[in-house]
Amino acid sequence: MGFVIWAIVGVLIMGIGIFAFFSKKTIGFWANAKPIAVKDIKRYNHAVGMLFIAYGLIFIALGTPMLMGQNTPYILLSMVGVMVESIAAMIIYTLCIEKKYRK
């Protein structure tokens, strides 16, 4: 049951990425912050959308230890993996996407 909930959250994150990929308005990456001014909205949204989709896929993959049961010691791998994945996504957005598309 835990993996099912974990996978649903991953699919929701991927849904945000798909929405961002096809959006006509600039999509914000940071919560409760205005989106940055960008040069090419379509390419920026594609990059942010792909980042969210990749995040969701990796998120689901990191949850696979839950299939062995919730008392397995590999659950720690899932938690640490998500923290590392989140930090990596922020670094990729800041150093690559925002730097490339900011006006």
Structure token digits, residue 99: 């730097």
Burial 85-96 (b: 16+ CB within 10 A, else e): beeebeeebeee
**Residues 17/51, Cβ–Cβ less than 8 Å:** yes
The owner of tokens 């999509």 is 27
Tell if the pTM clears 0.85, that is, is over it. Answer: yes
Give how many domains the chain has, as a whole number.
1
Which residue type occupies 98? Answer: E
- Rounded-to-integer distance, Cα 40 and Cα 22, Å: 14
pLDDT band at 103 (very low <50, low <70, confident <90, very high): confident
The whole domain housing 51 covers 2-101
Q: What are the tens digits of pLDDT across the range 22-59?
A: 999 999 898 888 888 999 999 999 999 999 999 999 99
